[in-house]
Chains A and B, each alone.
Chain A
Amino acid sequence: MISTELLITLTNDLAKAMTLEEVALVTVGALGRALDARSVGLWQRRDEHAHLVEAYNYTPELRQKLERVPLDAEMPMTEMLRTGEACFYDTRAEYAERYPASERTTRVSARSEALAFACLPLVVHDRTIGALVVAFFEAARFGNEERGLLRIVAGHAAHALERVRLFAAERRARDHTTRLQQLSSALAAMVSSTDVARTVVEEAMTTLNASVGALYAQVSDEAMLDCLSAKDSPFALRYPRLALTERFPAVEVARTGVPRYIESLEDLEREYPELAAGLRAVGEETYSIAVVPVGFVGRPAFLALSFRDGRPLAADERPLLEAIARHASMALQRASLFDNEARSNERNALLAEASATLASTLDYDTTLRNVVRLVVPRLADFAFFDVRDGEAVVRTPLARDPGKQVILDASRWVRSAREDVNLCALSSGAPALHPRIDEAFLADMASSPEHLAVLRRLELCAMITVPLHSRGQLIAALTLCMGESGRGYSRVDLETAQDVATRAAMALENATLFRELQRAVRVRDEFLSVASHELNTPLAALSLSVQRAKRELASPALDRAMRQVGRLARLVEQLLDVSRLQSGRLVLEPVETDLIEIVRECVARLEEQRAETGSTIVVEAPESLVGSWDPLRLEQVVTNLVSNALKYGAGSAVTVAVTEDGERVVLVVRDRGIGIAPLDIERIFGRFERAVSIKQYGGFGLGLWITREIVEASGGRISVESAPGDTRFTVSIPRRTEASRSDNR
């Protein structure tokens, strides 16, 4: 029956078989043909069942009946699988006697009934891994030789099956390794948590044949797990956030770091009825679940896979899933670090910009606008900057969305009626963080239905408010809000807001002081204008009247009156000048001016004073000397110096000498009078450079102080040399004066 030829052919063919199915096909085919058997069947033992892998000459009905037989069935094959002992039935009658039920089932037709059976176990390493059943047309007597040869065939088949199993396992293992390496490479390039999550979910589902996958992680400050990626999961769609306190197996895995494998729907129903119900409610079918932790220190996370085909994860696939989980964990950690660093850099950049922008201006209104511009849109979708201004509060709002800007422009700051909820730091004086605002909170916040409607239109979903303090006073509040973008706020955002607020407080303080200064200067200038007018008008009338009277009547009294009017007029001018000069730099308006013409005019104007003193004035100067100077101020200087020279000159000759010295011009006024004491010179011209106060000029009147201020503001220097009988004031100024602006503008 069985020849060595058969054995050789079978051996060769088996060696070429690469899969379970090929092995089975070769075996049953070879045996069937060579032995002229009625039928041959090969079963694999798996999960408490015998699965028919391949058959020779089975009818479709028979195939179906014997497809999947439980191991505890009453039939020769299953008994053999249980005991590991081959069995031989020479006649059908023998078989029927032993297994009446089975015999009846497998009896196909009365006609071609097999008459003899051989049941052989397929054994590898003392384990029965399958069964081979050969049926013969004729009643046979299985002698020892026949039994031995059949056993050899079974042995070959068993080893071939084992070989292909090992081969398949090895290929799977290599496959897994390759896929893990590819996953690792792919993840290495990713810096975003969502990218990592998506890749991991896809990879895990593909490799392990899952029907549903989801990855959740804690990404905010709240005790919540957010879904970073999910595939084909209605549950994840419905519940994108899970509380860390939830009684779900996945959440527990995230918390404890221990994987969980739930192998059947019954187990799920029994242990986690709420989850089972939840899954049913969203229409997600589940039969088994595998969940592994993918979090890292302080950041719980899980990867959950669900298998719909009723096959739970095989034992050798668990290590693979856990390896994927480890890769995922490292990648998420890397993404988190990268993210932190990016956000930290962003924050520093924002604060640096805040410092620069806020320091760039002293203008009050611009400062208010700059503050809100710094935070929208980078830190908020819209924001308010509420500043105390006396009793009132000035609100500066800014929104990313122009539609919302319109709403905000119409709003005003109102003291919150709610004591228990900190909505604005200007009411409470304290910072507050509302990381996520829901409908219930909005309803709570609103002070009226209209207010609630506005809050809804703004789509307010998160809020931060921080106070600004200056010199111990609460001066303002900055409130940041998230709306249409749906973003939330974290503790780090609150700190950033506080840092911005600190800088804003300084800038606001400076701007406020500056504004007060500007107001004070405006008031002062207005006063000076009015004072000037009020003093000069009667002086003008007086002056004209005296001039008129002098024409009608020559009288020394009138001459004196005229002189005093002149003096009064100069005094008023000096007083007003000093008033201006004391609080700011001198304002010069240079134009093309001929210095010599000015000198001549001044000398002409001082004619009366000269005549009285009996002095003479000599001018030593070129025909003209044009430069860029403020003529009125230059006039003051020349007049003052010459007038002093006449006053203290004791009737001597006064010389006014003007010379050029490169880009500078030198004016020397000289008299031969009583001189100035050295102590006085030192006092006013000595070591004290710029900061000489008027008090130091006591005795010299205001004129010399004003003269010095004008000369120095023009970029020049004034000095004096004096001895009794010879006094020289020397003024050296550049030919071109820069137009100067008072720092009060």
Chain B
Amino acid sequence: MTHVLIIEDDPDVRESVAEVLGEAGMAVDAAPNGRVGLDMLRAGLRPEVIVLDLMMPVMDGREFREHQLADAKLKSIPVVVVTADGRPPAFDVPVAAVIKKPFIVERLIGAIERARQASSE
């Protein structure tokens, strides 16, 4: 069972995604912003894939990613970015995938699976 952490500020999107992924057979945890997500990870949560929104209050996706990469215990968890921004500028350290909102659910699921497989190799 694939364990996923969703970090997304919009509650409707967060709930929908969690629901859909749950129905696809994944174990889902959710956080409303980067700060909370980071706290959860530091408290010991170890998802196999992180689904990350970019534009969030308190701590946005890029800042979260910086903190994640700086932490030896967290940096290897693959990240799938889901964003409303049509043309996000590139990441210094590439993420597993970038998916534009709105999206077809299968696309996200496919990206999560590929990311999980790639990182376990």
Contact = CB atoms under 8 A, between A and B. Distances in A.
- Asked if A and B are interacting partners, one says yes
Nearest to A544: B16
A548 B86 contact: no
A210 B75 CA distance: 95
Nearest to B104: A547
A537 B20 contact: no
A536 B105 CA distance: 15
Given A537-B13, A541-B12, A541-B13, A573 B86 contact: yes
A647 to B, nearest CB: 20
Contacts of B13: 537, 540-541, 544
Interface string B90-121: 10000000001111110000000000000000
A605 B100 CA distance: 14
A533 B105 contact: no
B19 interface: yes
Contact of A543 (B10, B90, B102): B102
Given A529-B85, A533-B55, A551-B23, A540 B101 contact: yes
A223 interface: no
A90 interface: no
A493 interface: no
- Is chain A's binding surface mostly helix, strand, loop or mixed? helix
A541 B84 contact: no
Interface string A503-547: 000000000000000000000000011001111111111111101
A541 B17 CA distance: 8
Q: How large is the interface on A (under 10, 10 to 19, 20 to 34, 35 or more residues)?
A: 20 to 34
Nearest to B105: A547
Contacts of A547: 20, 104-105
B54 to A, nearest CB: 9
B105 A544 contact: yes
A536 B102 CA distance: 6
A551 B16 CA distance: 13
A545 B100 CA distance: 16
A569 interface: yes
Interface string B55-97: 1000000000000000000000000000011110010000000
A576 interface: yes
Nearest to A543: B102
A543 B23 contact: no
Nearest to B10: A537
Interface string A146-178: 000000000000000000000000000000000
A544 B17 contact: yes
Given A529-B85, A532-B86, A540 B20 contact: no
Contacts of A537: 10, 13, 84, 101
27 contacts: A529-B85, A533-B84, A534-B84, A536-B85, A536-B100, A536-B102, A537-B10, A537-B101, A538-B12, A540-B16, A540-B84, A541-B12, A541-B13, A542-B102, A543-B101, A544-B16, A544-B17, A544-B102, A545-B16, A547-B20, A547-B105, A548-B16, A551-B23, A565-B102, A569-B102, A576-B86, A577-B86
Given A540-B102, A547-B105, 13 more contacts: A532-B84, A533-B55, A536-B86, A536-B102, A538-B12, A539-B101, A540-B10, A540-B13, A542-B102, A544-B13, A544-B20, A544-B105, A605-B104
